Amino acid sequence: MMNASRGKTLAVLWVAASFFAEGNASHLRSHEHLHSARHLRQRNEKDNPSFSGVSMFPTGSLSYMNLMPDCENALYQKVNCDDAVSSLMTDGYVSSFDNSTLSTLVCNAGCEAAIAKLHDAVSTNCGETTELVPGLPIIGLVNLLWSNWNQSCFADPNTGENCNDVIDAFPDVDMSKLPKSDLCSYCNVRKLALMQADAYTDAYDDNWQSTYMYVAQTCNISVSNFNSTPSAFNVTVPSSTSDCVSGTIYTTKEGDTCDSIALAQGVSAATMFYINPNILNCSSIWPGTNLCLPQKCDSVYVVQPEDTCIDIAVGAGIRTQNLIDYNSQLTWNCSNLHATNPYWGTTLCISAPGGTYTGHAPNTSTSTGSEIVNPPAGVKVAPGTTTDCGAWYINVAGLTCTQICLMNQIAINLFTEANPSLNKTTCDKDLIQGNAYCVNPLDGWNWGSGANSTTSPTPSISAPSTPPAPTQTGIPANCNAFYVAKAGDDCGTVAAKFGITKDHFHEWNPAISSDCSSGFWAKEAYCVGVSGTSSTAITSISASTPTSTSASTLVVPPAPTQSGIPANCDAYYVAQAGDDCDTVASKFQITKAQFHEWNPAISSDCSSGF
């Protein structure tokens, strides 16, 4: 009988196939008779046989997965084959190309060597266990391609003719009337054996098993096992929508995408993607999938190629922070506004989901938006949570992070940043029963240093007598600045961030391997400066303007500076890609005039010196 677990992988393989940069991935199903299988692809003899290669994943499309760089680059590697090879990324029956020239192009030794090279690169750099989604190892997709290439390119040992072409030429009659020379031919028997042994597709179902048994009996062939080979994939696509906060379930149909659904339903495509783990690719959602829709918003907007979050917010008459809060997955500085497509879509809410939220957090603490509300009495505040907060949630109801965020109209990014004991990818597991979490961090919560803030500025560094997070052995006793690593960091980026060499970073953090592949973990503190060196680590940051010099507030710049900065500057910001003078001044609630006064090397129009 067919392995029941294979059905669970069907949507995943179909989505994986759609990632091919060129060509058409086919989704086929096997049928009872040989001729009812669709053909992969047709092309005329006169077509130009030249080709430039195809890649399994378009460059940049996997950046959201935080893979090791060598692994990610291996997956973008081009396979030096005709683009028809992309048709072999199918979960179904592999049949003839209907064209001897095309068969020759796909089945030449160079293409086989290119697939082998891809397999070696992915195996070496990604390993056997790195997964695209839980239960779907990335190397399995390469194995799928290689297995289907073998099924497409085996030949009759006597004539050298492609076996799929041989089978395609069989007369279109019922199997019982098929000439025995065809039924019992090497190509037909070998095809069935390859299908039975295949662990990567759904092709070998009950009908094909019956066919194989009939052929074996009729042709007097000894076969030890007719059952399908257990699937190499163990994917369970979540389908439960019982915890849908909005109460609105949408069942997808053929052709649906995140954007088409979001536009039709008036919701944020980004939020919809985040709360539905069964959306594996926003551009191709498996028909019949039940989705929990987010709260509706009165107005949605489709992001245009040249848009910025500031442009969108101004056009909608809202603050940039509102736009970020309305759309889960937008980063704090909107740096991923365009990088989200095709994974989260391009449809954003530009009004509050669910309308203006008037409810209260479970402990009834409320805020005007500018007043600090003290944490609930007698309740432990989660470690590191900001107390620059206008509303609190006590974790007593057993809700998930998604439900908490939807109920309190806070973006998941902001929620986990304000409550750093929660990691976005493991948020539900990180929640502690009885702890209080901030669900309304006030403006400026992440850069102020007043008594009401327990968080560090971005980047999260400090120079206390006690490190701000767990550390590893070997850190020098005179370390005077720590950095708490975040997901996506590596040794090189941290060293560059604080203007130190990689050698210094490894010297001060000897538990980390030289290639940073072990000993470096998110949420642990690492030494980025020691006393007696020229370390450029920030030791404090203040929300006040630089009006006086004080030993307690004077800081060392965290990166190279330009001339003219006042000696009593007590707060620095390291510019990021996409910043300009206006956005930085706005971020720290100072005027442009003040910004230029304190940074005189920058031209008045910010075109030079920034």
Domains of the chain, each with CATH number or no CATH: 6-218 (no CATH), 249-349 (no CATH), 456-539 (3.10.350.10), 542-610 (no CATH)
Residue range 107-119, pLDDT digits in tens: 888 888 888 899 9
Question: Residue 527: enclosing H or E segment and its boundaries?
Answer: strand 525-530
Query: What totals of helices (H) and strands (E) does the chain contain, helices first?
Result: 20, 13
Question: Residue 54: enclosing H or E segment and its boundaries?
Answer: strand 54-55
Structure tokens at 206: 């009950």
pLDDT of 425 higher than 70: yes
Long-range contact pairs involving 155-162 (C-beta distance under 8 Å, separation at least 24): 156/185, 156/186, 156/187, 157/186, 158/186, 162/96, 162/100, 162/103, 162/107
Cβ count near 471 (within 10 Å) = 17
Residue range 508-558, pLDDT digits in tens: 888 888 888 877 887 788 888 776 543 333 332 222 333 333 323 334 565
Q: What is the dihedral of CA 85, 89, 92, 94, to 10 degrees?
A: 20
**Reported pTM:** 0.41
- Count CA within 13 A, CB hemisphere, residue 419: 33
pLDDT grade for 181, boundaries at 50, 70 and 90:
very high
In 3-state terms, what secondary structure has residue 357?
coil
Tokens 């609630």 -> residue:
589
- Listed residue (246, 245, 244, 311) closest to 278, CA to CA: 244
Residue range 252-311, pLDDT digits in tens: 998 899 999 999 999 988 888 877 877 877 887 878 888 988 888 888 999 998 888 888
Q: How far apart are the first and last CA of the chain?
A: 67
Cβ count near 35 (within 10 Å) = 12
The packing angle between helices 206-218 and 186-197, to 10°, is 140
Helices in 366-442 by DSSP H: which ranges?
401-408, 412-418, 427-430
Question: Residue 216: enclosing H or E segment and its boundaries?
Answer: helix 206-218
